[in-house]
Structure 1
Amino acid sequence: MSTGNGTPARGSYYERTGEHTFKPTPHASGAWSDDEQHFSPLGGLVVHALERHLAAAPRPGMALSRISHDILGRPALDECEVRVGTVRPGRTIELLEAVVTIADRPVVRTRAWLLASGDTAAVEGGAGERLTPPEELESWPIADEWPGGYIASVDVRPLAPPRPGRTAAWVSTPLDLVAGEPAGALTSFLTLVDTANGIAVRQSPQEWMFPNVDLTIHLHRQPSGDWTGLDTSVVFGPTGQGLTSTVLHDVHGPVGRAEQLLTVRPLQP
């Protein structure tokens, strides 16, 4: 939706413009360039499309358990189309694919595995300890480190002062993903996961670029709540590659892991 003068409505990252199309608002703008989308809300938009696809033809007893985004090109801050299809149907295992297109060019290709759910509480274990609850922590002015509309929109609460390459923090946002549309718990949680690459930087983003070319998420439990916990470590290798690795938490404990492959290079003046 828009205001009467045609400017984007405040309070969301996207506005729906058609059955499969969305217009990003300034809140979705990226960290290294304000005319491109930060991948956090864009990745959330893909999960939103996946969940709506599943709602149209429910798969009872199945859960989205792995979501792997490949970022094929620069996602301009322009209208985007998200299409979802089934690659491998099945009653206990199913593979979906989503493609994001901007200006007739695919910029994201996502594959998502659904796995059958069942009662395995008797053998549950190995997930790890909970993080300190977010209500016990202070907000960190991450916008002092990073520019961009997306970063300005989030509340980041680290468990301890961030260190180069190592931070654990909670992230939340007061904004809707798509104006006027409820988002599922999984979508809301995963919308914030790509923030991980910005909370434990090894070098200043004013001097170095280290964008991720993918984001792969594995879940052993479906998340809930309004906060996404990121227990993140970042490694830079000696030849221009890096890796951001994150244990994902909700307020009840760990729910899975995320990996982001980085391309590391000096920022050109």
Structure 2
Amino acid sequence: MSETYYDLTQVSLDDSVLVSEYRSHPATTGPWAPNLQHGGPPNALAVAAAEQVVEQITGRTDLTALRLASDFVGPVPVADLEVRAKVVRAARSAVLAAVIIAAGGRDCLISRVWFVRDADTSAQAAPPQAAVELPDGLPGLDADFGYGASLEWRRLSGGLLERGPGAAWARATTALFDGYQWSGLARAVLVADSGNGLSSELDWSQWSFLNVDLDVHLARPLLGEWVLLDAVTQLGAHGSALARSTISDRHGVVGAGLQTLVVAPIRAAKPTG
């Protein structure tokens, strides 16, 4: 397993657009095909690109990324990627950035990330819970593909081979790229894109249920390395489904994630995970 999901190979700022090039590593690989990425790493990369362009364009240090809305307009290959990021709106209370990830001249992922200015509203919010201790001896996720093996998992319920809702703690053991310090939203989206797999309602060998999008909203910054994902999938009768996830850290609930799923039968067996 590589030490990073990506290598940053080139970066430039051209007419207020931050253009970065990355080389993808096998740790990004998803369960469906060895040449396709899991959605977690590219969504985390989109958050990082948004953070970088907002810092460069605004120069502000009082902003926190709290919401990501991404659409997969094509599969993300395990290949060289071009990432283009720009600031769409910069106001005193919030800043919006847009990110496009492309491979081979084709757009793969289109994301929008909202940043909110830091202000003291602690008197109106519930006090944070004392940090819970993570139970020892919990089973892993048995996810032997690149992305799945790049995280440490502690499963509370459900699992990839068990149909129904699932909950698991997860911690990244792989860096996004050299020099990047994980932010709360980047950690959250890295794990949140696993909601549909953790709460699968269908047999992986008979059905595909890929997500076409990922929406993550945080009420406050995520604290620490560990993310708790508590997910459930609602199957529809018209070839679609919805995966909902509650996202928590060791101090309590932080936010939520949503994924729209395209459900279809498959002919050949696929790797589980």
Q: Under TM normalisation by the shorter chain, which class is it?
A: 0.7 to 0.9
Among candidates 144, 148, 154, match of residue 145 of structure 2:
148
Matches of 2:73 and 2:227, distance apart in 1: 26
Matches of 1:200 and 1:134, distance apart in 2: 21
What letter is aligned with 2:148? I
**Contact 1:51/1:184 (8 A) holds in 2:** no
Establish whether residue 14 from structure 1 lines up as the match of residue 6 from structure 2.
yes
Establish whether residue 55 from structure 1 lines up as the match of residue 52 from structure 2.
no
Shift of 1:26: 0.9
**Contact 1:217/1:258 (8 A) holds in 2:** yes
The aligned residue for residue 97 of structure 1 is 98
Matches of 2:7 and 2:63, distance apart in 1: 29
What letter is aligned with 2:69? S
The aligned residue for residue 119 of structure 1 is 120
The aligned residue for residue 69 of structure 1 is 70
Shift of 1:89: 1.9
Unaligned runs of 5+ in 1: 1-8
Counterparts in 2 of 1:237-256, with a 5 A limit?
237-256=236-255
Structure 1 stretches of 4+ with a deviation exceeding 6 A read 129-132
**Contact 1:81/1:100 (8 A) holds in 2:** yes
What letter is aligned with 1:184? W
Shift of 1:91: 1.2
**Contact 1:168/1:231 (8 A) holds in 2:** yes
What letter is aligned with 1:98? V
Matches of 1:75 and 1:82, distance apart in 2: 12
Greater share of strand residues, 1 or 2? 2
- Cα deviation code 1:165-202 (max 9, x no counterpart): 31111011211111x22323322343222122211111
Pair 1:97–1:90, CA change in 2 (3 A): same
Matches of 1:28 and 1:87, distance apart in 2: 28
- Cα deviation code 1:244-266 (max 9, x no counterpart): 10111111111111101000111
Pair 1:130–1:267, CA change in 2 (3 A): farther
The aligned residue for residue 4 of structure 1 is none
Unaligned runs of 5+ in 2: 12-19, 269-273
The aligned residue for residue 79 of structure 2 is 78
The aligned residue for residue 222 of structure 1 is 221
Q: Which has the larger displacement, 131-140 or 48-57?
A: 131-140
Matches of 1:171 and 1:197, distance apart in 2: 15
- Cα deviation code 1:213-268 (max 9, x no counterpart): 00001110100211111011111111111111011111111111110100011113
Establish whether residue 201 from structure 1 lines up as the match of residue 193 from structure 2.
no
State TM-score, norm by structure 2: 0.86
The aligned residue for residue 138 of structure 1 is 138
Q: State the aligned residue count.
A: 256
Establish whether residue 259 from structure 1 lines up as the match of residue 258 from structure 2.
yes
Pair 1:55–1:135, CA change in 2 (3 A): farther
Look up the SS of the partner of 2:147 in the other structure.
helix
Matches of 2:231 and 2:137, distance apart in 1: 17
The aligned residue for residue 166 of structure 1 is 165
**Identical aligned residues as a percent:** 27
Matches of 1:207 and 1:133, distance apart in 2: 38
What letter is aligned with 1:224? L
Matches of 1:245 and 1:98, distance apart in 2: 24
Matches of 2:130 and 2:39, distance apart in 1: 27
State TM-score, norm by structure 1: 0.88
**Contact 1:170/1:230 (8 A) holds in 2:** yes
What letter is aligned with 1:10? S
Look up the SS of the partner of 1:142 in the other structure.
coil
Shift of 1:126: 11
**Contact 1:40/1:193 (8 A) holds in 2:** yes
Shift of 1:206: 1.7
The aligned residue for residue 40 of structure 1 is 40
